[in-house]
Amino acid sequence: MTIVDVPAAVHIGADELPFVDVGDGSMLKVIQVREAEGLWIVENLFRAGYEVQRHKHTGPVYAYTTSGAWRYKEYSYVNRAGSFLYEPAGSIHTLQVLEDDTHVWFQIYGANLNLDAAGNVESVFDGASTLATYRSACAAAGLPEPNVLVG
């Protein structure tokens, strides 16, 4: 292998992708989507009281918290700065934010199946739909097309 054959690393600076409002003042940044692998990587900046609908994961999820506090209603532990969380495929939970400025990075495979009170699938979020939502929110906010790492 020559130096020409070596793939180049890709760098995305902290300010190169914008955060957009997802409701209630909480923010989303989509960093990477690889549809063929079912991978989507997002960063969230949550406000206290924000809650993600109860959902089931079709693939594993990795989460790293850098500030604030959040939990799943179904568990007793609290994720705080420095916490790492692994969620296996099939896990079901309701994300609840406890403190303002809760900053979490998620690496997600597959989809989130959003569930109603009876456990029926109400909607589905995956990398492609999250990327479309993110791009629309950027456009609505008058921001340029975000240079999300795709493919």
Q: Show me where the domains of the chain are located.
A: 17-137
Per-residue model confidence as pLDDT tens digits over 75-91? 999 999 999 999 999 99
Q: Are strands 84-87 and 61-67 parallel, antiparallel or unpaired?
A: antiparallel
Domain 17-137 is found in CATH 3.40.50.10540: no
Q: Residue 55 corresponds to which tokens in the numbers above?
A: 């959902």
Structure tokens at 24: 């209630």
pTM: 0.92
Q: How many helices (H) and strands (E) does the chain have?
A: 1, 13
At 126-136, the pLDDT tens digits run 999 999 999 99
- CA separation for the pair 52, 28 (Å, rounded): 13
